[in-house]
Amino acid sequence: MLLELSGLAAGYGPKTVVSGVSFALEPGQILAFLGHNGAGKTTTLRSIMGLLPLRAGEVRFDGQVLQRMSVADRVAMGLRLLPEGRGIFPDLSVAENIDVVAARNIGADAMFRVPDVYKLFPVLAERPGIRAGSLSGGQQQMLAMSLAILGKPRCLLLDEPSIGLAPNLVERMFQQVREVCKSHAMTAVLVEQNVAAAMKIADRVIIMNNGQIVFDGLPDEARASNFWHYF
Ligand code: ATP
């Protein structure tokens, strides 16, 4: 297993907002991590990344316990969080964003090179000189995703990547996420409000409600159950 959570609990101030969260993912597996607003999905991702301390439980990555590791150490191990609506340098151009990250990351073992990224998201190739901050929300997400994959992630935590993306682009972007996961054994945890699109690419579905897991199974099992009442 690459990413293993057991009995994770986390919260803010006096309030514990998620508890008993347990799952384990293999390399290349895609988890759709779903639930209504405030269910605790972002809190779980932030805890995995080390941005929020655990109140109970354990997170392991590649067999190593993460609790005492800094965020930087987790990044070095291959964990990446793509936070909702962030993750780019807004004042640099598209090409500068890509070049800065590529210069830092590309080695012999690179998953992707700069031309691969432009091939994956051709819309970025059309406007390399534009200020990243002036791209549409969806294009900023594509740029953020490009920067993340240039860094050779082994596990990508995606927080609502479809926000700001035109509906016809969502499926395309998600198919690309799936392709990257399957061709490079990259694991993904996909937090998404676009439940149908997320379930199409997922290998497994977890639904959170009030800070706890209320469903864990295959996409077909989720479709066959009455899971929609959690949204
Ligand atoms: P959303 O889609 O709205 O982000 P979510 O499932 O990701 O939903 P979280 O953002 O994890 O949910 O929020 C879980 C609970 O924690 C909510 O009740 C929220 O109000 C609370 N919460 C989130 N961030 C903070 C914070 N910084 N301080 C205090 N409470 C917070």
Give nearest CA residue, ligand 1 atom 23: 43
User: Does the residue 180 lie in any domain?
Assistant: no
Q: Provide the domain count of the chain.
A: 2
Substitution site in 15, 16, 17 for ligand 1 pocket (most atoms within 8 Å of beta carbon) = 17
Residues 74 and 53 reside in one and the same domain? yes
User: Does the residue 178 lie in any domain?
Assistant: no
User: Does the residue 175 lie in any domain?
Assistant: no
Q: Strand pairing of 204-209 and 187-191?
A: unpaired
Lowest mean pLDDT among 120-124, 132-136, 151-155, 164-168: 164-168
Task: Please tell me the pTM assigned to this model.
Answer: 0.92
Residues 160 and 47 reside in one and the same domain? yes
229: pLDDT strictly greater than 80: no
Residue 85's pLDDT is what?
A: 62
CA-to-CA dists, residue 140 to 39, 83, 103, angstroms: 26, 12, 20
Lowest mean pLDDT among 49-53, 63-67, 172-176, 212-216: 172-176
Residues 57 and 160 reside in one and the same domain? yes
Expressed as residue numbers, the domain containing 19 is 1-78+155-166+187-231
Among 147, 148, 154, 152, CA closest to 61: 154
Among 80, 81, 50, 45, CA closest to 67: 50
Are 54 and 68 in contact by the 8 Å Cβ rule? The answer is no
User: Does the residue 182 lie in any domain?
Assistant: no
Residues 6+ apart with CB under 8 A from 121: 142, 143, 145, 146, 176
Q: Can you tell me which atom of ligand 1 is nearest the CA of 36?
A: 6
Percent residues over pLDDT 70 in the chain? 99
Give tens-digit pLDDT for 7-40: 999 999 999 999 999 999 999 999 999 999 999 9
Give tens-digit pLDDT for 189-198: 999 999 999 9
Give tens-digit pLDDT for 141-173: 889 989 988 888 999 999 998 887 888 888 888
* pLDDT tier at 105, thresholds 50, 70, 90: confident
Whole-number Å distance, alpha carbon 39 to ligand 1 midpoint, is: 7
Whole-number Å distance, alpha carbon 187 to ligand 1 midpoint, is: 24
